[in-house]
Structure 1
Amino acid sequence: MTSSDPFANPPVPETRLRVPSADGTQINVEVHGPAGAPTVVLIHGWTCRISFWAPVIEALRSGTPALRVVAYDQRGHGESEIPGTGAYSVPILVEDLRAVLDATLGDGEQAVLAGHSMGGMTIMAAADDAAILGRAGGVVLCSTGFANLPGSSSVVPGLKRLPKANRAAHRFLLTSTLPIGPITPISRSAMKHTALGPKSSRQLQKANARIIAACKPKPRAGWGRVLSELDVTTHIGKLDVPTSVVFGTSDRLTPAAAHAQAIADALPRFAGMTTLTGLGHMTPMEAPDVVSSVIRQRVHAMVTAGEVAEAAKGPDHE
């Protein structure tokens, strides 16, 4: 990369795909790293795009061992198609993930699924989908929630003691079609308050604002309406895959007190919690080295489990 800002100059993929989902919506997919290496699938959150993962992608595809990284733009984000009215729902999140896995994984191949925010909710919602669950050799959930997102958020100061007002204010923020841009020092500061930890660098603040502001109002509001009512509580206990949880202690959108520990307690195969003190909601941007390390731990466990399973079959197995 030629710039010190990895989000402005993200890694160039080996392959780009246009993958049709079940309803025909075209999903933009990038594939990085060597063919044949263990695969990681990265699923970004609301108002983000593939470049949100830029430092994580670079760390995973260039580290030792080099991994194959699949990343896609959620519909309505980045270079994926913006669908028509009504084409936003929790089942559609799952359909899009299934389409990406079908297009990028071979028969019987597993991958580690790593999701941030709405991407983590996508993975939890997919726990009911046997085809997706069978392809998940491990999961990493970063800064995500499972229910009552407007009521648990703390972006708007002073409303936590007024539950109805807090929920209404945060539902408005989720569902509004008001434009975010142009980016100014004031709007950049507001987006920092919303999504980043208090000590985030100026460069990170600029990248965060640029990524969020690039999301068009229509899909932002469409997905915001889904998130305002989302409840995947009953799905978490079905996510029968080794799963790591990552959260920042200054997350205002999916506060750890309301979500992280409850998710960990409900997971059938909880594989550890990583606490990032002082960091906000955008943990893969704020601490890409830590997030990449957690993902690599899950990849190592997936590969080791596969080797043990192969050895158990015996030398005469075909």
Structure 2
Amino acid sequence: MDEQHKGKQVGRAAATGLGLAAAAVGGVAIAGAGLAGRTAVRRSRAYAVTGRDKVHVFPFVADKVVAVPANDGVVLHAEIDEPDGWTPVAGPTVVLVHGFVLNLSSWVHQRRGLVDAGYRVVSYDQRNHGVSESGDLARCTIDQLGKDLRAVIDATTPDGDLVLVGHSMGGMTIMSFAGRYPELTRDRVTGAALIATSAGGDSLVQLGLGMTFDRIIAKLGPGFLDGLGQREGVWGGLRAIGRGVENHFVQKYAFGTEMPKEMLRAVATMVFGTRLDAIGAFLPELDELDVRESLPGLVETPMLIVAGSKDVLTPPQHSERLAEALPAAEFIVIPGVGHLLQLERPGPVTDAVLALLERPRGVDAEKDAERAKAAVRGQSA
């Protein structure tokens, strides 16, 4: 077996993303719970984030909360922010689509910045994430997420211009949406931002968790995560006995610079608020992702592509390939930051999105790109 095939085989089973890091620390939780016994399992329930106990780690008082039924009946949690005096003619509505094992909390800085700038904002929790309902695991697919985005748009913003902003799996959701609904995209989407994401076409990045762990996951597969997810005390056990390990994995895979413990805890709460069976269902889908055929649906749309130079989950090469397929897009690499760049360096990300919002169709994209890059360089200095 050649090295490329071997790497892809391991990648498909071990998959990719922050969720696998979560699975890894879940494995540590198993060992820890075994050592500490029943007491640790009892304590773990105080830290587990499940069912109706789920909360958004960065509370934000929305103007409206909307329950959005997806096409299969799963109810998605959506929030709407409207600036004082906002009217439909004031500008496009910005729809924020979060990434894998996160929730709408990950957009807290952008929500504030966009509302302060006078824009209406819609954010929502993807299915099986955050406060949204969990549906059939067979529907944990990027294609279904594209349909869910359509449902959110129909329920919250049936008319008017839209700008879609997606991070990681959220960017994949937008690409899926554009491929499935090309006419709506052409007629109403006046801009789209793809942040720390990939169109796939090859096995996504491996996490380097070590050959022993990789082989365990490769052998047991997503079903292992499904079974582990049924053991609430074990899954939550790490929160009671291994916070240092948990922080280490979040720091390593989410950020490029040293982050305060409060931020690491907040991100860990989002990660551990995602059921392991859902993680196991999404991982093969993400690893085998290929939405490149959807990209022509975005060719006529003003685009922004943003990557973090130290992103180990979706390295800048993935964004470079997107930029090659969408040559009119602004492509910005923010130096020194990792996968959760919207939390690590919110200023440059928010400013880049605002620059996209201010760019009407037909304006010379190259000039706008240079202006946006210059602004990022200035903030990074």
How many angstroms apart in 1 are the aligned matches of 2:223 and 2:360? 36
Q: Are the structure 2 counterparts of residues 304 and 54 from structure 1 closer, same or farther at C-alpha, using a change threshold of 3 Å?
A: farther
Aligned to 1:282: 340
- Which residue identity is paired with 1:242? P
What is the match of residue 121 of structure 2? Answer: 69
Q: In structure 2, what is the equivalent of residue 26 of structure 1?
A: 75
Amino acid at match of 2:344: E
Which one has more relative contact order, counting CA pairs under 8 Å at least 6 apart? 2
Show the 5 A alignment for 1:54-203. 54-62=108-116, 65-107=117-159, 109-128=160-179, 129-133=181-185, 134-147=187-200, 151-156=203-208, 176-177=225-226, 178=228, 181=236, 182-183=238-239, 184-203=243-262
User: Equivalent pairs: percent with the same residue?
Assistant: 31
Q: Name stretches of at least 5 consecutive residues in structure 1 with no aligned partner.
A: 1-6, 160-164, 306-318
When normalised by structure 1's length, the TM-score is 0.82
Indicate which of 249, 254, 263 corresponds to 1:204. 263
Question: Structure 1 residues 118 and 175 mapped into 2: Cα distance closer, same or farther (>3 Å)?
Answer: farther
Contact 1:192/1:209 (CA < 8 Å) preserved in 2? no
Distance 1:206-1:76 versus aligned 2 partners, 3 A rule = same
With over 3 angstroms needed to count, the CA separation of the structure-2 counterparts of 1:113 and 1:174, relative to structure 1, is farther
Q: Which moved more, 1:21-30 or 1:190-199?
A: 190-199
- The reply to whether residue 243 of structure 1 matches residue 303 of structure 2 is yes
Change (3 A) 1:282 1:215: same
Which residue pairs with 1:3 in the alignment?
none
SS of the aligned residue for 1:80 comes to coil
Structure 2 residue corresponding to 1:41, chosen from 95, 101, 122: 95
User: Any conservation in 1 of the 2:66–2:156 contact (CA below 8 Å)?
Assistant: no
Report the more deviating stretch, 134-143 or 217-226: 217-226
Q: Tell me the residue number matched to 2:21.
A: none
Moved more, 41-50 or 229-238: 229-238
* Alpha-carbon distance in structure 1 between the residues aligned to 2:151 and 2:262: 35
Counterpart CA distance in 1 for 2:343 and 2:221 is: 26
* Higher share of residues assigned helix: 2
What RMSD over aligned residues (CA atoms) do the two structures have, in Å? Answer: 2.6
Q: In structure 1, what is the equivalent of residue 321 of structure 2?
A: 262
Q: Secondary structure at the match of 2:137?
A: coil
CA contact (8 A) 1:242 1:269 kept: yes
Per-residue Cα deviation, 1:15-63 (whole angstroms, up to 9, x for no partner): 000111111111110001224243110000000111111111111112x
Q: Distance in 1 between matches of 2:221 and 2:306?
A: 27
Higher radius of gyration, 1 or 2: 2
Q: 1:196–1:282: 8 Å Cα contact kept in structure 2?
A: yes
- Does the CA contact (< 8 Å) of 1:250 and 1:278 recur in 2? yes
Helix, strand or coil: the match of 1:230? coil
Size of the alignment, in residue pairs? Answer: 287
Counterpart Cα distance in 1 of 2:222 and 2:124 = 25
Which residues of structure 2 form unaligned runs of 5+?
A: 1-55, 230-234, 364-381
Displacement of 1:190 in angstroms is 1.2
1:304 is displaced (CA, Å) by 9.4
Quote the offset at 1:268 in angstroms.
5.2
Shift of 1:78: 0.9
Q: TM-score when scaled to structure 2? A: 0.69
The 1-side partners of 2:151 and 2:345 are apart by 29
Query: Counterpart of 1:316?
Result: none
| 8 Å contact kept, 1:174–1:227 | no
Three-state SS of the structure 2 residue aligned to 1:176 is: helix
Q: Secondary structure at the match of 2:316?
A: coil
Partner of residue 229, structure 1: 288
